[in-house]
Amino acid sequence: MRNRKNIAVKILAVLAFLVFLIINSRSISNPFRTGISGAASLPLKGLNGAMRAVKKIIPFASLREENRLLRERIDLLNRRIEESGTLSAENRRLKDILGFKNAIPFSSIPAEVIGRDPSNWSNSLIINKGSAHGINDNRAVISMKGLVGRTLEVGRTSSKILLITDPNSKAGVIIQRNRQGGILVGRPDGSCKMIYIALDSDVAPGDRVITAGFGSVFPKGILIGEVAAVGKEPGRLYKYAIVRPAQDMTKLEEVLCIR
């Protein structure tokens, strides 16, 4: 279609040129020149219209380029807005955890989660702090919502954290309401299980579970989560409780490591 338009414009231009030569030639009689001029008036009008159309089209080409540049600029600004929103959210989280750090009764070091252990993806994580920052082995790690786990392997600039949901994790805990004690162990499904609960204990769903403070790893009184269900193992002389951690371990981004 575009080629046809180009050919038509070229033909009209040639005709116009020939008419111009004939009209301005003194060797051709006046009546003949007049006839030619009249006959060529329609094609010339068409050529004039075509030229005006071309003049209108030319600015549109520059406008299309300008539009492309503007779209690229808009895409760039949208990316910057998204990045700004992400940085703003991260800044708020860091301010919150630093405020929490100042409010808790023990010394701690803030750290960011930078990855997961490929061999134990769901129950361990990697933070960006190590011995060079004052991190020690076998120390409690918490978030603003509750207990996360403990340091398991400490490198110079990074450390591995064993989460309380790992089956190898164990911690002395108590029910906050009635002070009933027990041992908390991790479960593969991301929850925890409190065992060795006395049969006559009135532990119930919704009870809050906190650290008991036994030993030197977990300070006393750190929230772990809430009881989701209570049961009894066949043939055992104690009850157990399924505990739902207060902190969703899949959404951790910042933690505090207890010194």
pLDDT band at 18 (very low <50, low <70, confident <90, very high): low
**Mean per-residue pLDDT over the chain, rounded:** 80
pLDDT at 56: 58
What tens digit of pLDDT does each residue of 126-145 get? Answer: 999 999 999 999 999 999 99
| Phi and psi based region of residue 43 (left: phi greater than 0; alpha: psi -120 to 50; beta: remaining) | alpha
User: Between these two residues, 12 and 162, which has the higher pLDDT value?
Assistant: 162
Output phi, psi for 224, to 5 deg: -110, -45
pLDDT at 104: 80
pLDDT band at 46 (very low <50, low <70, confident <90, very high): low
28 pLDDT higher than 50: no
Q: Provide CB contacts within 8 A for 198, sequence distance 6+.
A: 180, 238, 239
pLDDT at 44: 54
- CB-CB neighbours of 178 under 10 Å: 12
pTM: 0.65
Q: Are strands 147-154 and 159-163 parallel, antiparallel or unpaired?
A: antiparallel
CA-based max dimension of the chain: 130
- Residues 210 and 226 sit within 8 Å (Cβ to Cβ): no
- CB-CB neighbours of 195 under 10 Å: 15
- Length of the chain in terms of residues written: 259
User: Between these two residues, 241 and 120, which has the higher pLDDT value?
Assistant: 241
